[in-house]
Amino acid sequence: MDSMRTASARMELLAAIDAQFDVENRVDKDGSVWVSVGKDRLFDLLGFAKNAGFEHCSSISVTDWPEDEVFELTYHLWSYRDKILLTVKSQIDRREPIVTSAIPLWGPSAQIHERELHELFGVRFEGNPDLAPLFLENWEGPPPFRKDFDWREFVRKEFYDEGNPREQGYWG
C-alpha cells in the first residue's frame, strides 16, 4: 500500500525508538505506529518525534479509566515528509492529572487541544498559559467528559420536572 520510502522511514523510526526508549510499540495493519511510554519519558519521546519530522500534531485525546485511577493521554502525530501516523500513549494518575504541555513542540495547535482537554477532563497541562474554558459557561460541576459524570442524571435533574406528569417518561 505505502511507498518504499514510507516503509523504510517506518523501519528507521522503530529502530530509533527502540534504541533510545524502552517502550512497547506495535504497527497497525494500516501502517500506523503505536507507542506506549511512561509519564516520565513522555515529553522526551514527543520531542524525539518532533525532531524526527512529525510536524503535525493532528490531535490530542484523553481516555478516562476510573477503575484503574488513570487517564490515558493519546497524541496523534503525522509526518508530512515520511507520511507516517505515530500515536504516542501515556498514562497519568487520575487523582493528580498533571502533565507537561506540548506547546514548546507544536505551539498553538497543541495549545488548543490541551485547552479543550483541561475543560472536558480536568487534566492540567503545565506550561500552558491559557486553559480558559472553550465551550461551557458558568460551569461548576466536575469535568463533564469524565466517565463518572452521569450526564443523563444531570439533564434529568436540570431540565425536567419530576412532578410534571407529561415528563414522567424521563424519570422511568
Partner 1 sequence: MRATPVNRVTGADGITEGCRTEDGFDLYFGPVHPGSGNFGVKLTVRGEEVVAARADPGYLHRGFEKLMEYRTPMQNSVLSDRLCILESLNWNLVHAEAVDRLHDTEIPDRAKYIRVIMAELSRIQSHIIWYGVLSKALGFDTGFKVAFGYRDYVLDLFEFVTGGRVYPAGYICPGGVRRDFPKGTKERIRELLTKMEKMSREFEAYDNATIRTRVKGIGVLALDDAIRLGATGPVLRASGLAADVRRDAPYEVYDKLDFEIPVHEEGDAYARSIIQRREIEESIKIIRQALEQLPAEELPPVKPKAAGKIPEGEVYVRNEIARGEAGVYMKSVGESHPYRCKIRGPDFLHMIPVLEHLLVGAEVADVPAIYWSLNICPADMDR
Residues binding partner 1 (CB under 8 A): 1-2, 28-32, 34, 55-59, 61, 63-64, 74, 76, 78, 80, 83, 85, 87, 106-109, 111-112, 116, 120, 133-137, 144-145, 151-152
Q: Which three cell numbers stand for residue 38?
A: 511512561
- Indicate if the alpha-carbon torsion angle 121, 122, 126, 130 is positive or negative: positive
Calculate the alpha carbon distances from 33 to 5, 43, 88, 91, 104 in Å: 15, 18, 9, 18, 23
CB of 63 to partner 1, least distance (A): 5
Which residues in 43-75 are b (16+ Cβ under 10 Å) and which e? bebbebbbebbbeebeebebebeeeeebbbbeb
CB of 146 to partner 1, least distance (A): 10
CB of 70 to partner 1, least distance (A): 13
CB of 24 to partner 1, least distance (A): 14
20 or 69, CB closer to partner 1? 69
122 or 144, CB closer to partner 1? 144
8 or 59, CB closer to partner 1? 59
Measured in residues, the chain has a length of 172
21 or 145, CB closer to partner 1? 145
Q: Which 3 state secondary structure label does DSSP give 74?
A: strand
